[in-house]
Every structure is written in C-alpha cells, then in structure tokens.
Structure 1
Amino acid sequence: MAQQEANPSITVTKTSDGPPRDLESLPETGSQLSVHEKAVLAEAQSILARLVARQSDPLSSPSAVKDYLVHQLAALPHEVFGILHLDSQKRLIRDEPLFRGTINGAVVYPREVIKAVLQSNSAFAVLYHNHPGGTASASEADQRLTSELQIALTTVGTEVLDHIIVAGTDSFSFAETGLLYVAGH
C-alpha cells in the first residue's frame, strides 16, 4: 500500500449554513448534565457553527479538521460515522453524520455513503467516526472499511482526503499516518 504524504493539504471552508444542533441531539449522559448545561452546550455549538460560517478558511489544516471533529464528537456516548462533504475547492458543503451505533461499533453501509456523496455533489470527503471510551487508533476493521470506501468513492469521482477517528479529546488521522490508499501510486 502506497503512503500519502504526512501532512496532506486539506482546506475546508464553510459554504452553507447548516442548522445548529438542538438540545435533543446533544449526547445523552444520564443525570451527568443538567438542562442548563445542555443549553450551554447547545449555545456553544451554535456559536461554533456561526464562527465556521464567518471565517473564510476555518478548517484549513488537518489539525483544524481534527479539532472541529473533536468538538463535535468527544462527548458522544455512542459511535457515529459521518462525512465532511467538500466541493472542488475543498470548502465544506456540509457535515453529515450518517450512521449511529452503540458504545463500541456502528454498521456502515458503503452504498449509503456513496448515495450521500452523490446527493451532496462532493468532490472530496473527509470520513470520520468516534470511539467512545476507546482509543484514537485505527483497528483492522477501520482500515478495511476506509480502503473499501476510498475505492468505491473514487469510482464516482470523489477523493477521500482523510479518515479521522476521535476518542475523547484525542484523534487519529489516516492521512497523517500514511494509511490512506493513494490512487495512481
């Protein structure tokens, strides 16, 4: 498997305003969070969404993309697999969580991933998922899925720039560690 350069150029720019997440979509943590704390978190997410929309180049590096995803996924008590859809200029079209799993897994259907990419007209994609309570590392299953999705998405003209795994405040980048298949190499 060929390795991609250690610091790929990812420039993600917000091009459309997505609705801020509401209180119902915040992580369910039992009695750990009060209604007030959930409201504060919802407002923080809303502020983050507005800042992303205002800045011309808010997610301009792999570390900025990882920071954004850590803020979105760190507190979730269940796995979520999603895609950052990017246009041909690598600007963010939208952040789309696709699959919700349990505490230690999520079923990902490549057909649905392809449908989502086509519906968003994505030229590039950053795949992501979280490991609640786990470690920020890629399992063999994560590596197989990433390879399968890269090949499938390439057939419809979408390049996978990275797959990021979030575990709490830690993150892992397939691109930074050379685990992405590089077409033509």
Structure 2
Amino acid sequence: MNDPRAFREAASLFDADEAPEHVLGPGRVPSYVRDHRKRLRERFLQGGATAMPDYELLELVLFRAIPRQDVKPLARRLIERFGDFNRVLTASPERLARIEGVGEAVVTELKIVEAAAQRLARTKVMHRSVLSSWDALLDYCHTTMSHRETEQFRILFLDRKNVLIADEEQARGTVDHVPVYPREIVKRALELNASALILVHNHPSGDPTPSEQDIALTSQINAALTVMGMVLHDHLIIGKSRETSFRAAGHL
C-alpha cells in the first residue's frame, strides 16, 4: 500500500491495537501488546472491574489514549504517584502532565472517565427528593469530592419538596482551608428561590472530623438562612472512605 492516504483510510477502519499487521505497517502494535489487551478486555467483560487491581483498570482506560504501546508501566507509575484509581482520575491535568508518558491524549481520556462517573452519580440525585435518596446523595458526594487534593465547598439547593434543583461549587481552597462567605450563600439561595440547603465540603486529609472553624461557620450560615426563612438540612464533610453529618453529630 504505497498511497499514504489509502494507508490512513485503511488503518482508520480498525481499532489500532487490533488492526492486522499488514494494514498498520511499520508502526504496528507488537503481538504481545495485542494479546495482553485482548486478555484484559475479556476479563473485564466476563467478570467486571471488581476482581481487577487498580492498575489493570487504568490500563483499560489508557488503551484508547496510547493505542500502540504497552501501557502497563505508565499505569503503575500513575498508581504509585497518586495512590489509587480514583485519585488518578481526579488529579489535576497539571499534576498528571508531570508524569513521564502522560500527554494530552492521556489527560483527556482520564478526564472523560472522571466526568462520566460524576455525571452518572449526579443523575441519581438531581430533580429527586434528596431526603428519600440519601444514600445516592452520599455516593455522589464521595464520587465528586472524596479524592480531591484541595478543599472544595459545594452547596445543594432544594425546593419546598426537598427536590435538588441546583448543585454548585461555591469555592475552592488549599489542602486545609476554603474561603466561604455566608452572605454569598444566602444571596445565591434567594436567586434560585431555594427553600432548603445542604452544605458539603471535603477534607483532603481523609479524616472527616469537623474542625472548630467548620462548626462555627456552619452555625453562622444556619443563622443567616433561618432569618430568611430557609432550612439548613445538613452539612456533610466528605473524607476518603467515610463522611460526617453535622445533623447526626448534633452540630445542627
């Protein structure tokens, strides 16, 4: 196949790591890479992700970004650097790009998977009564926030029937602090015509125990909302594997 255009068109008909060698030419995928990828895909289709270690699940994601190389070393480097599959997905593009072998295609693929996971979890809570789907709400909060390396403060705005009408990020901060202003929260709640709120923020340390500052701030926000006739249902602090509810802990 001497025509370069014809070569590109033929190659585009195949998945790069499954295309016949005579089509892919000199840059073809080594047979051991094709065989390894095939085995991983078959294991995933037959048994799902439960029995797969994090680096193998990450390999499956990397296959599309790097179609003609063995991605196992890169998957292991990413896991070693960030700790687990979820932390790799939620790492910032800037930090990911510092890892040898990570280019724009890899960052894009990882961020697509992260966005898909968050959107799937979000659909289970949006426009539904939050108080009757509490477990789904906690799953969403953990999916979105538990593996972040800096603090994030989110507000869930509810209507009179406690249906979630908006989920917004109010602020981002450092590893142990995020700036939050009660007046801005009240202002936004009024704009959305919300009747109730749930506050959510994460502790990058993994420990969801509230600080004295967390408790004081929550009290200030609750007082401001009460004056405006709105209810603060809860304030959730999301840790790595568990969460703290201010309502359950007696802080509200």
TM-score, normalising length: structure 1: 0.74
Report which stretch shifted further, 34-43 or 145-154.
34-43
**Aligned partners of 1:27 and 1:118: how far apart in 2?**
34
Report which stretch shifted further, 44-53 or 66-75.
44-53
Supply the AA of the counterpart residue of 1:40.
V
**Aligned partners of 1:163 and 1:58: how far apart in 2?**
14
Is 1:175 the counterpart of 2:247 in the alignment?
Answer: yes
**Aligned partners of 1:179 and 1:70: how far apart in 2?**
21
Counterpart among 78, 100, 119 of residue 46 in structure 1? 119
1:143: Cα distance to partner? Answer: 0.6
Counterpart among 136, 139, 146 of residue 67 in structure 1? 139
Is 1:142 the counterpart of 2:233 in the alignment?
Answer: no
**Aligned partners of 2:128 and 2:247: how far apart in 1?**
24
Residue 74 (structure 2) aligns with: none
- Which structure's relative contact order is higher, taking Cα pairs within 8 Å and 6+ residues apart? 1
1:58: Cα distance to partner? Answer: 6.6
TM-score, normalising length: structure 2: 0.56
What pairs up with 1:93-132 in 2 under 5 angstroms? 93-132=165-204
Residue 20 (structure 2) aligns with: none
1:96: Cα distance to partner? Answer: 1.1
**Aligned partners of 2:128 and 2:195: how far apart in 1?**
19
**Aligned partners of 2:144 and 2:131: how far apart in 1?**
14
Please identify which structure carries the higher helix content.
2
Check whether the contact 1:28–1:76 (CA below 8 A) recurs between aligned residues: no
1:137: Cα distance to partner? Answer: 0.9
Residue 73 (structure 2) aligns with: none
Check whether the contact 2:195–2:230 (CA below 8 A) recurs between aligned residues: yes
Runs of 4+ in structure 1 deviating by more than 6 angstroms, as ranges, are: none
Deviations along 1:97-145, one digit per CA (max 9) or x if unpaired, are: 1011111101111111111111111111101111112411111111111
Which consecutive unaligned segments of at least 5 residues does structure 2 have?
Answer: 1-89
Look up the SS of the partner of 2:174 in the other structure: coil
Look up the SS of the partner of 1:133 in the other structure: coil
**Aligned partners of 1:134 and 1:51: how far apart in 2?**
25
Look up the SS of the partner of 1:112 in the other structure: helix
Please identify which structure carries the higher strand content.
1
**Aligned partners of 1:102 and 1:118: how far apart in 2?**
28
Check whether the contact 2:146–2:206 (CA below 8 A) recurs between aligned residues: no
Look up the SS of the partner of 2:179 in the other structure: coil
1:46: Cα distance to partner? Answer: 2.6
Is 1:80 the counterpart of 2:144 in the alignment?
Answer: no
Supply the AA of the counterpart residue of 1:131.
H
**Aligned partners of 2:162 and 2:222: how far apart in 1?**
17
Supply the AA of the counterpart residue of 2:155.
I
Check whether the contact 1:132–1:167 (CA below 8 A) recurs between aligned residues: yes
